[in-house]
């Protein structure tokens, strides 16, 4: 004796058809497509910069740990790894600041102009 999940045929009156998607003229605008392409390129550039710095740090730790373990001043415990690590934080915050500044100025202005053009 097999027990399975019962299935019941649904009446046509209970099936709700999804409304057709509304055409969005903004998505077809060549200026919008160019904007999206430029924004994506800029984002990938920042991503590659961040990954390069991060992996350079990790690979330095893996293959040349003595380089970052060298003291800044002989006889003192502070090593070069400390300012390099803080430098990575500063670099990360700088990349975020660059992206936010660009998004709040260039990107917002471009989107506003494209929207105004799409309404006309």
Region 101-109 average pLDDT: 91
pTM for this model (two decimals)? 0.69
Q: Which of 53, 49, 30, 56 is nearest to 114 (CA)?
A: 30
The C-alpha atoms of residue 53 and residue 110 are separated, in whole angstroms, by 30
Q: What is the pLDDT of residues 16-35, one digit of tens each?
A: 666 666 677 777 778 888 99
User: What HEC string does 72-102 produce?
Assistant: CCCCCCCECHHHHHHHHHHHHHHHHHHHHHH
d(C-alpha 84, C-alpha 93), whole Å? 14
What pLDDT is stored for residue 112 in this prediction?
87
| pLDDT tens by residue, 63-99 | 999 999 999 999 898 999 999 999 999 999 999 999 9
Report the pLDDT value the prediction gives residue 1, as an integer from 0 to 100: 56
């Amino acid at each position: 004796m097999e027990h399975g999940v019962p299935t019941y045929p649904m009446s046509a009156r209970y099936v709700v058809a999804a409304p057709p998607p509304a055409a969005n003229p903004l998505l077809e605008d060549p200026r919008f497509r160019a904007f999206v392409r430029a924004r994506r390129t800029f984002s990938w550039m920042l991503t590659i910069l961040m990954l390069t710095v991060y992996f350079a740090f990790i690979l330095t730790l893996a293959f040349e740990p003595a380089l970052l373990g060298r003291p800044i001043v002989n006889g003192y415990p502070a090593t070069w790894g400390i300012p390099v690590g803080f430098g990575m934080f500063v670099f990360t915050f700088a990349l975020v600041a660059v992206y936010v500044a660009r998004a709040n100025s260039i990107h917002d202005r471009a989107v506003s102009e494209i929207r105004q053009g799409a309404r006309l």
